[in-house]
């Protein structure tokens, strides 16, 4: 079951410059920077109320973020929803007709297990499901 918006992912060309920009916008600094080698990104997190903003910079030209920026430019990349049980939610959504980009959960940033739904089955929105690693 989807519990809440966990974070909004924003693709950026330069993480340091974007950290400065969003620090000015939010009036506070990011709380974490983390590399996710399996996704080819460096991330930075800001906490706004109960929702996180995740900035994502590509660390290699073949990463999904590099391809996204090349095609669409910087901007909102995905919306992540927190779920109680990622494995059960993946099964439920697959039965409902949603296409999963990855068929098994994988490790993501910020101590999460994650899965993505293909935007062609979610009205053009890249949806990430995530649960806290136990």
pLDDT in tens, 46-62: 999 999 999 999 999 99
Share of the chain above pLDDT 90, in %: 98
Confidence of residue 134 (pLDDT cuts 50, 70, 90): confident
Tell me the pTM: 0.93
- Is beta strand 75-83 parallel, antiparallel or unpaired with respect to 127-132? parallel
pLDDT digits (tens, 9 = 90+) for 74-93: 999 999 999 999 999 999 99
């Amino acid at each position: 079951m989807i519990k809440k918006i966990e974070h909004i992912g924003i693709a950026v060309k330069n993480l340091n410059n974007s950290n400065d920009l969003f620090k000015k916008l939010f009036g506070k600094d990011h709380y974490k920077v983390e590399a996710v080698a399996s996704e080819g990104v460096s991330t930075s997190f800001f906490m706004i109320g109960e929702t996180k903003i995740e900035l994502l910079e590509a660390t290699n030209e073949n990463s999904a973020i590099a391809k996204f920026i090349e095609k669409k430019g910087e901007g909102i990349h995905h919306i992540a929803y927190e779920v109680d049980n990622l494995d059960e939610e993946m099964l439920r959504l697959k039965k409902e007709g949603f296409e999963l980009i990855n068929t098994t959960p994988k490790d993501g940033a910020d101590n999460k297990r994650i899965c993505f739904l293909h935007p062609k089955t979610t009205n053009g929105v890249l949806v990430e499901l995530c649960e806290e690693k136990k």
